[in-house]
Amino acid sequence: MDPSPQQTITVNQCIDQIAQKLELADLHYGHGAVDANSEALWLISKQLNLSPAEALDHLEDIITNDQQQKALAVVNERIATRKPLAYILGEAWLMGVPFFCSEQSIVPRSWIAELIVNGSLEPWLPADGKALDLCTGNGSLAILLALSCPDIHVSACDISMPALSVAARNLDRHGLKSQVELFDGDLWDALDEPNEDNAFDLIICNPPYVNSSSMNTLPAEYHAEPALALAGGNDGMDLIRRIIASAPDYLSERGAILIEIGNEYENFKKAFPQIPVIWMEVSAGEEQVLLIQAEDLR
């Protein structure tokens, strides 16, 4: 049932009603929310001008009729367009951090974010170290790195100028323009020629890795995102081959590169059977994110 202007309901009741409406619409989740309930919480929290986590402390508050109707308008747009909620709201949350979001880049999401925030990458991030976020998109991972390790310098690059414009807005939002530097270009072409000054202690990368067959069957929500940021070629490894081929030139002696490959574990193993890999445990399992140490690439 839709919230009615005559109803006086709590935030929790409104979330339940919105979740039911979303459930009936057969939507796809995975762009910042795992299911209808979490998306409903996120949607309502935006109307309350709170973070989703903060909204959990206000579940028994009364929600105004105006807030109900604005939420319902968002729900109707979500159902009609099948666009990710983040695009409709213009904002996404990753590890509790807010980011501006638009259709110029994919919605902020990556298992790498978990590893940044939980400290798993700190062995490769010395004080005054240098990190690179390759294929940065909206800049969310570079920003999480900078927030988690305020004593490092972060470079971030992307081939898409529209995506970098979103990243620049996010850097400004979080006051990180002096710590994070943006570069535009096709992978390594965005950077200067390898030298001692641009050797990185850690390179992180969430590249386009969806194989061609999977691209053809993605739900509508994914087709609302730039294909450039998703498509990884026939086996999903097109860009990853280029990334790994040149990574040794840009890594410090004891550096490492961390790459997200999603569901392409088998294709990665076929493409790189000779490379020793450390598989990093994330909430989705142990086959989604890998780390390769510089010494194993030389």
Place of tokens 């796809």: 28
State the Cα–Cα distance between residues 156 and 202, nearest whole angstrom: 12
- Whether 30 and 143 share a structural domain: no
Judged against a pLDDT cut of 80, whether residue 197 lies above it is answered with: no
Tell me what pLDDT residue 35 has: 95
Summarize pLDDT for 76-112 with one digit per residue, the tens. Answer: 999 999 999 999 999 999 999 999 999 999 999 999 9
Confidence grade of residue 298 (pLDDT, cut at 50, 70, 90): confident
- Give percent of the chain above pLDDT 70: 97
Judged against a pLDDT cut of 60, whether residue 1 lies above it is answered with: no
Q: What's the mean pLDDT in 50-71?
A: 94
Confidence grade of residue 55 (pLDDT, cut at 50, 70, 90): very high
- Whether 39 and 151 share a structural domain: no
Domain of 290 in residue numbering reads as: 103-296
- Whether 43 and 125 share a structural domain: no
> Per the domain annotation, does 274 fall within a domain?
yes
Tell me what pLDDT residue 195 has: 79
- Whether 52 and 183 share a structural domain: no
Q: What's the mean pLDDT in 287-293?
A: 97
Summarize pLDDT for 162-188 with one digit per residue, the tens. Answer: 999 999 999 999 999 999 999 999 999
Tell me what pLDDT residue 57 has: 94
Judged against a pLDDT cut of 70, whether residue 29 lies above it is answered with: yes
- Whether 114 and 188 share a structural domain: yes
Tell me what pLDDT residue 8 has: 84
Q: What share of the chain is helix, strand, coil (3-state, %, to 5)?
A: 45, 20, 35
- Whether 143 and 242 share a structural domain: yes
> Per the domain annotation, does 59 fall within a domain?
yes
Tell me what pLDDT residue 2 has: 53
Q: What is the CATH number of the domain that holds 283?
A: 3.40.50.150
* The pairing of beta strand 130-134 with beta strand 153-158: parallel
Residue 298 or residue 15, greater confidence: 15
49's CB contacts (< 8 A; 6+ apart) are: none
The pTM assigned to this predicted structure is: 0.93
- Total domains in the chain come to 2
Beta strands in the chain (DSSP E): 9-10, 62-63, 91-94, 97-100, 130-134, 153-158, 180-184, 200-205, 251-260, 278-282, 285-293
- Whether 117 and 235 share a structural domain: yes
